[in-house]
Structure 1
């Protein structure tokens, strides 16, 4: 064990379902604009659980031990000489993906599409489930005094919701149907509502999720077990919630083919469809409906410039609340239990406290 000066307990995935808590050196500031943060709390994401259970996501494969976690908030303990805005003691939300800043996508202002993104807890890059973590100053978003570290940890999935709603260009008065009432779907609904959507309908097949959604951000809910036929479900959603020619915007946060098919049928002619959930590499979907209705279709990936800041601003203003999503928390030394609980679907958002002295 290293001396107390260098103590940096880290939750490390060595192989599938093989995790250890090990001491690592405190990371150093490699660039003048870097910031050293003591991590206060980390939320568990579905991708963290997927790496823990399978050791890979698509082409990102675990080949060496990796620290998990990427939904975090903490306190600045050291800043580089070029830092201008942050100081030791400031609390921040950690934006966990640092782009190269040099590729055409970065220069075009779409750094979430960077060809050389260094994203926390995505092989080969270590994540934030440790005592200390280093980020550039401009990827640390200050938290106002009345926004807790718990809320700060949920800024990461909230920023995903912000990006999706921006991709959909939700406007005041719009009607929006969101498929998938998991954490991201719920946050998409909340952000859409904050942007002025007058109807936000959530669709899922798990009734307890829908019941929660109705108390959280949805103005209406629909259980997709109503029919196995996407056209029938779409027609029923339009009728039940008086959507006229269809929803202005449909968003899929599930990645499930039946939801995607239903979404394309539920959106109105000239409407917008955004794919936020990830599922199978290839599916069949109603291309004729897409063409004949001239639907605008977009993908959505992580978050880009301004999304993290807007997420914090929405929390600070009370326009969106995330406290209701927090269902349980664990001590750092019990982090594996948190993963097991998340895998069993026992909570919406589970938090892990940072290592204590």
Structure 2
């Protein structure tokens, strides 16, 4: 079967891989679509994402959907042929974080297509995938596989908004209009935000944010843009650059909340910590998700505008072209690989 394997920075290969077989408690899934994530692009361009560095070849991909093929011994789930989304995390279930209901920051989790541990956890960009059966989610009525491929990044966005607290009736700022930033816009609006302002350097990215429901679009490199707010109640940093965090800290109101969602470069990052003190700003991190995955599927089933964020579907044989397209923010939002 074909799979998408990263060997190092700039070394992405489509290879023939041995078909997997489901073991005890596992399910075999025929993958239909896989979304190219920002972390996949970092592995491709930089050989790592944040502090997680490649040390061996790894199948990429954690945003995958498909159909159930079969089960291993003692495994049950949706009947074979059912369309499913795959929750990419396998938390340990016994660490202090899992015991505290925060499985998304489990210290011993396994996450599809991640170099956070060694050996690496192989990902889902392959024609077939084996995962624990409990990670399968049957798609709600009316939700097709193509749109369902957005479930994982939308769950990330929903978790970030949840970390911000109650956003009902509030003005939310989102810095960065990449796929995750756009989905944060949709998540904030679905959670009752009265107004969402989005900043980015790329005009096309801002247009995708408008599709997601943004009320105000601001060019981040134009200090005279009339859309800049005087202050906001909540800010979500989704660009992964220090300048975005600085913008959030300077525009959020006193006592407001800033959620750092974008993965900053490895090492130390300077930030306006004096503002955190003098304005009593709450700076919170947001990492992955847990139960929000199910909420993401329900939201995708209920709203069709998400289709406008899928800018291309590319056969896996052209994976390098798909990655190049996904990396070009002037031409794309979310790019899917098709298997």
Taking structure 2 as the reference length, what is the TM-score of the superposition?
0.92
Query: Following the alignment from structure 2 to structure 1, what is the Cα–Cα distance between the partners of residues 278 and 51?
Result: 35
Report what 2:205 is aligned to.
209
Q: What are the equivalent positions in structure 2 for 1:17-32 lying under 5 Å apart?
A: 17-32=10-25
Q: CA deviation at 1:81?
A: 4.7
Q: Which runs of no fewer than 5 residues in structure 1 stay unpaired?
A: 1-7, 240-245
Q: What are the equivalent positions in structure 2 for 1:142-157 lying under 5 Å apart?
A: 142-157=138-153
Among residues 248, 251, 254, which one is paired with 2:239 in the alignment? 254
Verify the 8 A CA contact 2:62 2:123 in the aligned structure 1: yes
Q: CA deviation at 1:215?
A: 3.7
Does residue 178 of the first structure (1) align with residue 174 of the second (2)? yes
Q: Give the 3 Å change call, closer, same or farther, for CA 136–292 of structure 1 in structure 2.
A: same
Verify the 8 A CA contact 2:211 2:309 in the aligned structure 1: no
Report what 1:265 is aligned to.
250
Q: CA deviation at 1:217?
A: 1.1
RMSD, aligned CA: 2.0
Q: Which runs of no fewer than 5 residues in structure 2 stay unpaired?
A: none
Total equivalences in the alignment = 333
Query: Following the alignment from structure 1 to structure 2, what is the Cα–Cα distance between the partners of residues 27 and 139?
Result: 17
Among residues 189, 194, 201, which one is paired with 1:193 in the alignment? 189
Query: Following the alignment from structure 2 to structure 1, what is the Cα–Cα distance between the partners of residues 53 and 101?
Result: 28
What SS does the corresponding residue of 2:250 show, helix, strand or coil? helix
Does residue 292 of the first structure (1) align with residue 284 of the second (2)? no
Q: Give the 3 Å change call, closer, same or farther, for CA 263–16 of structure 1 in structure 2.
A: closer
Verify the 8 A CA contact 1:71 1:153 in the aligned structure 2: yes
Taking structure 1 as the reference length, what is the TM-score of the superposition?
0.87
Who wins on radius of gyration, i.e. which is larger? 1
Q: CA deviation at 1:274?
A: 0.5
Does residue 283 of the first structure (1) align with residue 274 of the second (2)? no
Q: CA deviation at 1:236?
A: 7.1
Q: Give the 3 Å change call, closer, same or farther, for CA 287–18 of structure 1 in structure 2.
A: closer
Q: Give the 3 Å change call, closer, same or farther, for CA 225–54 of structure 1 in structure 2.
A: closer
Among residues 198, 216, 229, which one is paired with 1:238 in the alignment? 229
Question: CA deviation digits over 1:175-225, x for unaligned, max 9?
Answer: 111111111011001110011101111111222322332243101112222
